[in-house]
Structure 1
Amino acid sequence: MAAAAVASNVEDSVRTIAQTKRIRVSEFFQDYDKLRSGFVTVPQFFRCLWQTLSLKLSDDEERALSMKYGLLDNGKINYKRFCDTIEQHFNPYQLNAPPEIQEKIPMEYLGTVRSTRPLSVGSEARLVELLRRMQQYYKVRGINLRTQYEDFDRHHRGVVSESQFYRNFPGPLDVDEEDMKTLVEKYNDPKSPGLINYLNLHHDILAVHNYVKKEREPANWSRERSVDMTPLFPSADPTLSEILDKVRVAVFKNGIRTIEFFKDHDKLRSGVITENQFVCGLALACGKEAQLARPEIQKVVEYYRLPDGRVQYKEFCDAMENAFNIPDLEKKPTESVQRPPRGTLTRGLKPLTEGEEQRLMEVLNTIADKVVKDRIMMYQYFKDFDRSKAYTRVVTPPQFARILHFLGLNVNNEDLKLILNKFQDPSSGDVNYPAFVQAVDREFVGHTMDDVDISDPNRTNVVPQAVGETKWVESPPVKFEELMARIRHIVLASRLRVIEYFQDFDPLRSGSISIPQFRRGLASMGLSKLGQHDLNDNQFDMLVEQYRNPKKPDQVLWTNFLADIESVFTQEGLEQAPTANVPRQELFRVPKPGTTDWNNASNDHVDLYNETMKHIGQRVDHRRILMKPAFQDFDKHNNGHITRTQFRQCFKILEIPIEEPQMHALEALYCNDVGVNYMQFLQDLEPVEPIPFMYIKRMEEIRQANSKQALPEQRPNSDLESVYLKIKTKVCKERIRIYEFMKDYDKLRSGRMLKTSFRRALNLARLDLLESEVAMLEDKYQSGREVDFVEYLRFCQDIESIFTKDHLEKNPLEDVEQFKPDEEWAVTVLTGQEEEQLMKCMLRIAEKVYKHRMQLFPLFEDYDRVHNGAVSQSQFRRVLMELELAKLAADTDIELLWKKYQVQVGGRTDINYIAFCEKIYELAGFEHRKP
């Protein structure tokens, strides 16, 4: 018995760990059992427990498990039976006892152990009341106690320290210090003093939640009575047909699948259920939507009741769901569907008393005046609060009141209740905002029942035709010229090669094919009912008579037809008549079939059209409306045409009121057999100026810009040595390899290149050479064999000699002197008299600097923003004035200073103040840069 108890404890521990880690123990033993025999050796069994579950067993525990699951003959352990004990919650082979009794419940989740420390009676009652309050508080605010402490529980053991428990306790706010002490005392972990088992507290709160939920259930609760019967509005005694019509409309409007509310009660799918089940299902399905009272439901029950007391719900559901539809309509394509009666599916407004109606009109008129005065657009703000993607056209009463307040349409509470009472839906309680907007906004164009042309509802066998839609009728006969123009337009627009559709029928190239073959070729071109043009029999006979073969009346000369059609591209024999005038291809374009000839329209019709376009244009300009997106949403094929119904619907969406005569005037101009050409309508409504052809003008401007004379050169070098010095200084400072810029122009590596390429390479190297300087280089290195070429390789060698000499490997003892460019200011040469005058001025400045120990650099550096060591002439004079040194130098002396220390920075002449300061310090006898 002792070994069995030890084995049971081990099984409980393994079961808890397996549930904690969410693993299946059997999957890890199968790696050692290749033959799936259900047995492994003893070392393999305990090794798997150690590696998988981190469970190290003692000798007594290993011995107990070996005795329970081991076999004496082969020395192996039956791991299969061990895994079944761990993973199965009950024994499936023990059929006498119910599974609830056999269920083996593991320890607390994550292996925690509930505290067994008893509390006093008062503390236990206090704890129960506290848990009830916490459960209600957490339920209302959606708080999960376990997630509040998971961040502190890094190892997921279900415990936190006492300070962490206090710190992150989520409430409620009325929990005092005594309550917290009670929780700490109750949920102290017995194995780890100082730690609080928050997981047990979480489980207790869940248990309290389930207990409270069961408490609130009525004692006689049953599955058949699990429907919350919504209190219905009392109504008069209607007839059965009125009740069924009301249910039928509610099912159709709300898209209710009534059978879903009954079939769960009919397990055998017999089509009948009990009366009580039918009442509950009907009330739950559409009791609120159809405003059904209990007497009305009872009348429906009496109608569908069988002699045995059950109700035929299947017959009821079929009658309701197929109210305005026919079952299996895909198998009956010629059947006509009955429409709902006019006004049945609209949201009606509730009637009020005469006094309330009068007061409501006063409130609506006041709001309407403010809407007109402030030019408020209301519908868009209500639409933003519409909670459905398909726009239910209703908002909740709080949203309705919030929108009115946001728009500045403040009304008192009594008037607001009156508005809500008028425009609320009695079934859902939502507010019908389009009806309200239409009542207070005179410019709002909403969809009403008067806008729809519905046929007589008594005529159930007639399908009403949509407004403005054209029927498919055979095209009337046309003239031969018009037919050929239409065919030429199709060939030109689609870029068809007509010969490819007929030459396969004429293998002998006789130019004649049979009449059926001619029709097949025309159909392949798109001249059929499925193509771009419906070529009827009259039109085809006209083509046959025109191109009939006189020698063979049953054939057609298709080559003549080919020549007449392909004349839209070019004319034959142009090589013999080069001066012939070929007509433009735009002449062969014709409007789409069904387009009205506007030239024959009456003056009244044209005036009405112009007035309509002016009215629409003013509306678009006033409200800044973007017209094109609304029309493009209906143009799925991007062919620039929509139907007439969609054309009218676009004006409704854009809130542009159009009267019926005005709409007919627009449709007369823009309608054709394809639909309404909305692109042409938008182009006429908002014409866009064509982009002018600016190529000739731009070319003339470029010519004029290139014809301007070059600007005179500034400070050019007059001798070749100065040019060399300029190039070498640039190359040395910026470490440029001129050869890299020039070798790409010498593909054969001949050492020569064109003068134009030489100029281009020098420009790419950014040597900043002037025209005269480049000319001197070209004269110097001009090739002796060809005048237009330059010996660039010799030029590169002369320039790159500043770094090293060629063939040093042959002269290892030769000394190489590297080129060091002089400072730019040091190159400036003054006359002897100017040098003497400048030196006297600088000595005077140096004497004062030495006497007062002046710092010259800081003031100059304040003006040197980019730290290039130079300042402008005005800045140089200003620093001397701030240092009170300008008194020691006359204007001629300052000009000599400018001339001596001038440098070129970005094409501008600046002063090198660093050289000036260092010279002053040197004359003053200071240590280098230490005044």
Structure 2
Amino acid sequence: MAAAAVLDNIHNSIRTLAQTKRIRVTEFFQDFDKLRSGFITVPQFFRCLWQTLGIKLSPDEENALIAKYDLKRSGQVNYKRFCNEIDQNFNPFDLVRDPTSQTITAPEFLGTVRSVRPLSPTSEARLIQLLQRMQQFYQYHGINLRTCYEDFDRHHMSVVTESQFYRSFPGPPDVNEADMHLLVMKYRDPDRPGLLNYLNLHHDIVAIGQQTAQDKELVFIGERNVDHIPPACTEDPALNQIFDKIRVAVFKNGVRTTEFFKDHDKLRSGIITENQFVCGLALAVGKEAQLSRAEIQKVVEYYRQPDGRVKYKEFCDMMENAFNIPDLEKKPLQDVVRPVKGALHRSLRGLSDSEEARIQEVLHEISDQVRRRRLMMYPYFKDYDRSTAYTRVVTKMQFARILHFLSLNVAPEDLKLVCAKFEDPASGDVNYPAFVQAVDQEFVGHTMDDADLRDKGRTNVNAPERPVSISDSNVSYEDLMARIRNIVLTKRLRVAEFFEDYDPLRSGSISCGQFQRGLGLLGLSKLGDHNLTDAQMKILCDVYQNKQKPDQVHWKQFVYDVETVFTQPNLEKVPTHEVPPSEIFRVPKPGTAMWENASEDHKQLHEATMERLHQRASQRRVLAKPVFQDFDRHNNGHVTKAQFRQCLTMLELHATEAEMIALEAKFCNDVGFNYIAFLQELQPQEPPKFMYEKRLENLRATNSRKRLPDMNPETDLEGLLLKIQTKVSRERIRVLEFMRDYDKLRSGRMLKTSFRRALDLCRFELKESEVCLLEDRYQSAKDNDYVDYLKFCDEIESIFTTKELEKAPLQDVVQFKPPEEWTLNKLDEESRQKFTDCMKRIAEKVRKHQMQLFPLFEDYDRVHNGTVSRSQFRRVLTELELSSLVSQQEFELLWKQFDVKIGGKDDVNYIAFCEMIYDLAKFEWRKP
């Protein structure tokens, strides 16, 4: 027993020092244990205690520790077991005892153990009162006692001298000499005379503050019996009604009540004057809650203190949490206070009996017009409601303007009654949803009266839950799988991707909850394409249940059954297997009527109606689809029944009620009215023909045709080179720049295909035969597939200069002058004689009359290139009265002689013609 007591004292002292110094003892022992075996030698063990904690144990204490932790009896200490004893954390493998009972909290040397010098009971009680006063003073002024003495404690030993303690004592001012002496006697260090442990005093003050806050919280919880501020409930019914009005106004308008009071409370004490509270309450919800001066005064009286001030913080806390509980996620079992059913609805204003009778007549007349004209009134009102959020009110001027726009003419006196009936008490505007519901039977809205009628006979007792069975489902397994296959086929979904994340081991089995979540991601939920009920989920879980694990599902088998809509697996093993077409897996929308089972009368009525509507739509050339698409906001091909009837009215395709019912029975389903199928039957369109094969045949036929022969190609090489040199000279083309990019190694040769490509880039516009002449002329002697392009470039660019002219300085360089194109035109001898005679006749008349030929030609030469068309050339000669001298054959000779190619078109060079005429007429140069 004596050894056990010694060990407990050692453990407690070491545990206290470790917690005081905030150190982990294990980390210091591990430095001696390189192999992490959990054992170190005895000298290392005691050296670590002395260096880390500054503990020097006696021989008896050392022997007691060695006897307890030297398990191997080999001179090595099990330091891990020692550290676990010091830390005293709970054992995670001990599931019998409570973890809090297993943990030992070590008292700090300068912390919770304060009885260093015990005093008498009277002195202790007086000391506690003194510490409470000091704690309140320090908390109010934000004083930290520890920082007041740290400047004197240079070595951070948590002690100061007695004179230093007196000198830096921060107060409060009402502490006298006897109180100071009591503090000195209490916190004098027993081991070091003349020194006071100020850290013990600091910790005591902090502990008293924490205890005070905890006592206040317990008192608050004891008074309220809940952990939030509930709505106030007083004995005065009138005051309760006022609080209810304020709560509803705060909740509906989103008012932050604290913002209207805290500016008056500079110290954040939670208390303000009566006038400040009245002003803040009136500004916050005075208008929204319709509070009178007397009602505000009642609230003031309820929260007034004896000194005349008002506790606004308690009022704001109640209003901020009117229908909510703060930090509700931390209190899952807390009952939330719900508002009374209908309390948040905007109630309608009560009128006198005569006014109520008149308002009913007015509303009945408006309702008849709305029903007869099938008006949708709510969107027109909603367009005017464009504030930060939908306020569900419009001004009276806007209300009257909308009624006039809809041609719902109401007398001025009746309009005042309607505005008074549906007036919002807070803003004075008109509550248009309530008005629309009163006159439109198809509009779904909320009013307090309807809510009260629906709630009659309803109790707050929940219906008893019963287990879900397969019999609860109205859909069989085959129909359900057909619906799932249709969704997967339509949206081209990869089903396995929605389940394999839940099966990291790829076992093919997941839990029922994970299976249901995967189906929800697949689109089988209330937000998806099909609402999978609990009974339908039960069917799938039972069919694909894992026999070894009844709470799990074979998801891979489900994926296999669903994805067979695309193809059959392992087709490479059965090449002759015929895969069924995917169209057989498509099913109609849920709720679609089985038209085959309809009666003959019903079918005849439907066919007669569709035939009549088809004829009318064809005669009037109606474009019906855009009208339906305006109502189809989700682009799913469906509209509501009311929208379908409204569309037919807009298209002037009228039908009786029986015919409407027949159409709705044929084309309606659970989603709505399928207007796509209706329009396909009303205005059938031929499907586009598959033209791919036909276009492919045309393309092949086009490619198989022989190329057309070249038009007017150059047959000799000299003429071809002259043509190229002329173009290069006129357009100043550097042919080598286009060629060298295809010769990366600068070998002077290039492929014939690259040579053709380079000629195209030069825009020489050569014919096929002309390119072949060049390839044959400059073909490489080493390889027949290559062309010596450098020789070609040198011969072309010789028109500018002679290559290597520096080696022949005496050589005369003759500049190349490209011949005019018309000079290359050659006539035979007979044609040449006729051409000469014609030109002489024209020149003789021009000489006699001194005519000027250029001005008329220039009027037709808009781009100033010296050419005109053949028709323009003949027109000018006619205007000059020279055409009578020229026959048709001679015109053709003139055109042929002065012909030039401009953009592939044959034009006439009128400049050469005019100069030749002037030369034959013996005119001076450029005269007349």
Structure 1 equivalent of residue 331 of structure 2: 332
Alpha carbons of structure 1 residues 364 and 926: separation in structure 2 relative to 1, 3 Å: farther
> Whole-Å Cα distance in 1 between the matches of residues 518 and 541 of structure 2?
11
SS of the equivalent of 1:348 reads: coil
Q: Following TM superposition, by how much is the alpha carbon of 1:913 offset from its aligned partner in structure 2, in angstroms?
A: 1.6
SS of the equivalent of 2:901 reads: strand
Aligned partner letter, 1:820 = K
8 Å Cα contact 1:455/1:464 also seen in 2: no
> Whole-Å Cα distance in 2 between the matches of residues 429 and 733 of structure 1?
87
Structure 2 equivalent of residue 68 of structure 1: none
Aligned partner letter, 2:817 = K
Larger radius of gyration: 2
Structure 2 equivalent of residue 860 of structure 1: 857
Alpha carbons of structure 1 residues 625 and 502: separation in structure 2 relative to 1, 3 Å: closer
Q: Deviations over 1:362-415 (max 9, x none)?
A: 699589969987x98765565444341322233334555666777888888767
Alpha carbons of structure 1 residues 461 and 774: separation in structure 2 relative to 1, 3 Å: same
Structure 1 equivalent of residue 897 of structure 2: 900
Aligned partner letter, 1:830 = L
Aligned partner letter, 1:917 = C
Aligned partner letter, 1:860 = F
SS of the equivalent of 2:387 reads: coil
Structure 1 equivalent of residue 245 of structure 2: 246
Structure 2 equivalent of residue 388 of structure 1: 387
Q: Deviations over 1:674-730 (max 9, x none)?
A: xxxx9x989889999999876544433321221233334322333333323222222
**Are 2:879 and 1:882 aligned?**
yes
Structure 1 equivalent of residue 698 of structure 2: 701
8 Å Cα contact 1:394/1:431 also seen in 2: yes
Q: Which region of structure 1 is more displaced relative to structure 2, 862-871 or 276-285? A: 276-285
Q: Following TM superposition, by how much is the alpha carbon of 1:317 offset from its aligned partner in structure 2, in angstroms?
A: 4.3
Note the aligned Cα RMSD (angstroms). 6.5
> Whole-Å Cα distance in 2 between the matches of residues 287 and 462 of structure 1?
38
Structure 2 equivalent of residue 493 of structure 1: 494
> Whole-Å Cα distance in 1 between the matches of residues 808 and 758 of structure 2?
33
**Are 2:763 and 1:763 aligned?**
no
Long gaps (5+) in structure 2: 1-235, 525-533, 614-621, 650-659
Q: Deviations over 1:832-860 (max 9, x none)?
A: 44444434443444455455554433332
Q: Following TM superposition, by how much is the alpha carbon of 1:887 offset from its aligned partner in structure 2, in angstroms?
A: 3.4
Structure 2 equivalent of residue 723 of structure 1: 720
Aligned partner letter, 2:712 = R
SS of the equivalent of 2:875 reads: helix
Alpha carbons of structure 1 residues 387 and 757: separation in structure 2 relative to 1, 3 Å: closer
Q: Following TM superposition, by how much is the alpha carbon of 1:563 offset from its aligned partner in structure 2, in angstroms?
A: 11
> Whole-Å Cα distance in 1 between the matches of residues 811 and 368 of structure 2?
104
> Whole-Å Cα distance in 2 between the matches of residues 699 and 841 of structure 1?
57
Alignment of 1:499-578 (within 5 A): 545=547, 574=572
Match of 2:918 among 917, 921, 927: 921
Q: Following TM superposition, by how much is the alpha carbon of 1:905 offset from its aligned partner in structure 2, in angstroms?
A: 1.0
Structure 2 equivalent of residue 710 of structure 1: 707
Structure 1 equivalent of residue 255 of structure 2: 256
Alignment of 1:265-284 (within 5 A): 265=264, 276-284=275-283
Structure 1 equivalent of residue 866 of structure 2: 869
Q: Following TM superposition, by how much is the alpha carbon of 1:820 offset from its aligned partner in structure 2, in angstroms?
A: 2.0
Structure 1 equivalent of residue 445 of structure 2: 447
Alpha carbons of structure 1 residues 869 and 339: separation in structure 2 relative to 1, 3 Å: farther
**Are 2:799 and 1:798 aligned?**
no
8 Å Cα contact 1:387/1:395 also seen in 2: no
Q: Deviations over 1:199-245 (max 9, x none)?
A: xxxxxxxxxxxxxxxxxxxxxxxxxxxxxxxxxxxxxx995554444
Alpha carbons of structure 1 residues 485 and 787: separation in structure 2 relative to 1, 3 Å: farther
Structure 2 equivalent of residue 345 of structure 1: 345
Aligned partner letter, 2:388 = K
Aligned partner letter, 1:348 = L
Q: Which region of structure 1 is more displaced relative to structure 2, 910-919 or 719-728? A: 719-728
Q: Deviations over 1:108-139 (max 9, x none)?
A: xxxxxxxxxxxxxxxxxxxxxxxxxxxxxxxx
Q: Following TM superposition, by how much is the alpha carbon of 1:877 offset from its aligned partner in structure 2, in angstroms?
A: 1.5
SS of the equivalent of 2:908 reads: strand
8 Å Cα contact 2:509/2:555 also seen in 1: no
Alpha carbons of structure 1 residues 661 and 828: separation in structure 2 relative to 1, 3 Å: closer
> Whole-Å Cα distance in 2 between the matches of residues 284 and 498 of structure 1?
57
Alignment of 1:5-20 (within 5 A): none
8 Å Cα contact 1:337/1:463 also seen in 2: no
Q: Following TM superposition, by how much is the alpha carbon of 1:876 offset from its aligned partner in structure 2, in angstroms?
A: 1.3
> Whole-Å Cα distance in 2 between the matches of residues 914 and 520 of structure 1?
94
Using structure 2 for the length normalisation, give the TM-score: 0.53
Using structure 1 for the length normalisation, give the TM-score: 0.53
Q: Deviations over 1:768-794 (max 9, x none)?
A: 222333343344445566655555444
SS of the equivalent of 1:724 reads: helix
8 Å Cα contact 1:547/1:557 also seen in 2: no
Match of 1:816 among 813, 816, 819: 813
Structure 1 equivalent of residue 192 of structure 2: none
Q: Following TM superposition, by how much is the alpha carbon of 1:829 offset from its aligned partner in structure 2, in angstroms?
A: 1.8
Q: Deviations over 1:392-443 (max 9, x none)?
A: 2333345556667778888887676565445443432334445556677x69
Match of 2:774 among 772, 777, 781: 777
Aligned partner letter, 1:857 = F
Q: Deviations over 1:228-267 (max 9, x none)?
A: xxxxxxxxx9955544443333222222233443455556
Q: Which region of structure 1 is more displaced relative to structure 2, 349-358 or 733-742? A: 349-358
> Whole-Å Cα distance in 1 between the matches of residues 749 and 468 of structure 2?
82
Aligned length: 642
Q: Following TM superposition, by how much is the alpha carbon of 1:339 offset from its aligned partner in structure 2, in angstroms?
A: 4.3
SS of the equivalent of 1:713 reads: coil
**Are 2:730 and 1:733 aligned?**
yes
Q: Deviations over 1:589-621 (max 9, x none)?
A: 9999xx96989999589x99x99xx99xx9994
Percent of aligned positions that are identical: 49
> Whole-Å Cα distance in 2 between the matches of residues 868 and 695 of structure 1?
48
Long gaps (5+) in structure 1: 1-236, 506-516, 549-555, 633-639, 641-646, 671-677
Structure 2 equivalent of residue 807 of structure 1: 804
Alignment of 1:333-412 (within 5 A): 333-334=332-333, 335-342=335-342, 344-346=344-346, 348=348, 351=351, 354=354, 358=358, 382-400=381-399
Alignment of 1:70-149 (within 5 A): none
Structure 2 equivalent of residue 82 of structure 1: none
SS of the equivalent of 1:919 reads: helix
Q: Deviations over 1:469-494 (max 9, x none)?
A: x999799999999999999x999816
Q: Following TM superposition, by how much is the alpha carbon of 1:872 offset from its aligned partner in structure 2, in angstroms?
A: 0.9
> Whole-Å Cα distance in 2 between the matches of residues 497 and 422 of structure 1?
55
Structure 2 equivalent of residue 231 of structure 1: none
**Are 2:289 and 1:290 aligned?**
yes
> Whole-Å Cα distance in 1 between the matches of residues 366 and 502 of structure 2?
73
Alpha carbons of structure 1 residues 354 and 296: separation in structure 2 relative to 1, 3 Å: same
> Whole-Å Cα distance in 2 between the matches of residues 858 and 297 of structure 1?
102
Q: Following TM superposition, by how much is the alpha carbon of 1:528 offset from its aligned partner in structure 2, in angstroms?
A: 7.5
Alpha carbons of structure 1 residues 566 and 683: separation in structure 2 relative to 1, 3 Å: closer
Alignment of 1:412-431 (within 5 A): 420-431=419-430
SS of the equivalent of 1:821 reads: coil
> Whole-Å Cα distance in 2 between the matches of residues 419 and 523 of structure 1?
54
8 Å Cα contact 2:381/2:402 also seen in 1: yes
Q: Deviations over 1:438-460 (max 9, x none)?
A: 677x6984634499899748979
**Are 2:891 and 1:891 aligned?**
no
SS of the equivalent of 1:909 reads: strand
8 Å Cα contact 2:482/2:587 also seen in 1: no
> Whole-Å Cα distance in 2 between the matches of residues 619 and 820 of structure 1?
70
Aligned partner letter, 1:717 = E
> Whole-Å Cα distance in 1 between the matches of residues 663 and 304 of structure 2?
58
Aligned partner letter, 1:345 = H
> Whole-Å Cα distance in 1 between the matches of residues 823 and 760 of structure 2?
27
Q: Which region of structure 1 is more displaced relative to structure 2, 874-883 or 759-768? A: 759-768
Aligned partner letter, 1:701 = N
